[in-house]
Amino acid sequence: MKPSIHAFQRDTQLRQLAEGKLWDVIVIGGGATGLGVALDAVSRGFAVLLLEQADFAKGTSSRSTKLVHGGVRYLAQGDLGLVREALRERGLLLRNAPHLVHNQTFVIPVYNRLSRPYYTVGLKLYDALAGRLSLGSSRMLTAEQTLNHLGQNLQTRGLRGGVLYHDGQFDDARLALNVAQTCVQHGATVLNYAKVSRLLKNNLGQIEAVEVSDIESGTRYQAQGKVVVNATGVFVDDVLHLDEPTQAPLVRPSQGVHLVLPQRFLPGAAALLIPRTDDGRVLFAVPWYGHVVLGTTDTPLPQASLEPRALEQEVDFILNTAARYLQAPPTRADVLSVFAGLRPLAAQRNGSNATKNISRRHYIRVSASGLLTIAGGKWTTFRQMGEDVLDRAIALGKLPGRPSRSAELRLHGAPSASDQPQLPEHLGVYGSDLPALQQLIAENPAWANPLDKAFGYLQGEVMWAARYEMGRTVEDVLARRLRVLFLDARAAQRMAPCVAALLAQELGRSSSWQQEQVISFRALAQGYLLPEATNAATPTQVPASAASATEQA
């Protein structure tokens, strides 16, 4: 199907919602899970409506470690089925979205003689599970080779060598956007800032429609559907309670925190994997848009939030762990941005807090009303999760049997193999849309100017985001279309006035709206900055070297 940038406009999508048609599938949730359901549904030729209460990927789906991976930790836990499934999906994503998903080299530094063959054997199994979709073979490295891959900031005392392997790296929010665009290209209606407030049932107690409010205008709509899917991630319990007010919690949120640092802390081309931290997790340092993403943690939280905040102990844990492996360790003053995301883990009935041991497999619940709820899972397997939901709906007799074709779908923006020029990383994410973006920028010479001298993002990209990517606010643009908030929160604060002015021009907003946007975004961005070190909790003591940390493990 020929891509169209013009179809992905909010006014067009609202008009389609207002037509009052009967939908085959109504998806609640515009993160990775909901988008996976919508993608698989349109691949089967069903009429699909997707509704997101905020912006696409506003929550967890824009706050990942930026990895498309099988999960080396799940391999260590013996969950070979989950790893095999994720590695297959990793390969499909690399094929279907090559402008956003890339082959990334990872290196595990080794500080004792026994670790290198141990990790090598495990990663050879990782390679084998990937099969024909493997991204490359793992191998042992000498100490010198390890430094060449990771850069000279790696701790050298006691360094015995390393193990190299391959995994995927991506831009999570941009992928979510491209999946939404792909759904629209195949006939779906997809809306952000559209909140489902009620589930409407017939006299048999079966859900037959949803009531949805347009957050921007306040207008309410009723949408009738054969199947309603609750795919709201950490918020699945909120939707379940619209159906069954006394339902016990299905998920328990677990928080993962990431710190973003200047590239000098990991100057090599490879990503760093620390395979065993004090809390039993792995820690990654991943190159991303000329910066380094360092994380993550696993902290149980009592409730979900659209804007979770890092805890002081989480920040200290990440910095202290990194200090064991880096000669010049990062301090709080070096952190350019800190962001937190919530994982929708299964609620433990025994009261256990050991979230790191809970499987990341997804599961599907069918309510007496017919509501299908999908919980758990991870970004890498989003497409398979969608396929499983549609298979369940068909097995229940709610939809006619049609085969899934989502594994074959090239995502919006994916260039052909012969049409993939080498571009600056941030422009490369537009893929096949780049010529149209360049044509738009040519309309106004000012739009070719950068938003900030520290970054290459252009004013015309803001206009593009508003016109063809449903960007509605300064946050939509700087957090999820251009990713600046996640890279450098202070730079994002500087860019806010220019972005607000451009959005107001394109969307027809007032000067007071423009001012409110700047104020609210700068307040939001302040939460992505660490308080001054003098106000921080005292860091805990750490071993003097990575060697001692490895020996303790």
DSSP assignment of 258-325, as one string? EEEEEGGGS-SSSEEEE---TTS--EEEEEETTEEEEE---EE-SS--SS----HHHHHHHHHHHHTT
Predicted confidence at residue 7, as pLDDT, reads: 84
Q: Please give the single-letter amino acid code of residue 331.
A: T
Predicted confidence at residue 425, as pLDDT, reads: 63
Predicted confidence at residue 549, as pLDDT, reads: 39
Q: Which pTM value belongs to this model?
A: 0.93
CA atoms of 190 and 38, how far apart (whole Å): 9
Burial class (CB in 10 A: 0-12, 13-18, 19+), 202: exposed
Residue-wise burial string across 80-119, b where 16 or more C-beta atoms lie within 10 A, e elsewhere: eebbbbbbbbbbbbbbbbbbbbbebbbbbbbbeeebbeeb
Predicted confidence at residue 72, as pLDDT, reads: 85
Low-confidence ranges of the chain (pLDDT < 70): 1-5, 347-360, 417-425, 532-553
* 215-231 residue pLDDT tens: 999 999 999 999 999 99
* 234-291 residue pLDDT tens: 999 999 999 999 988 888 899 999 999 999 999 999 999 998 787 777 899 999 999 9
CA atoms of 25 and 386, how far apart (whole Å): 12
Predicted confidence at residue 539, as pLDDT, reads: 36
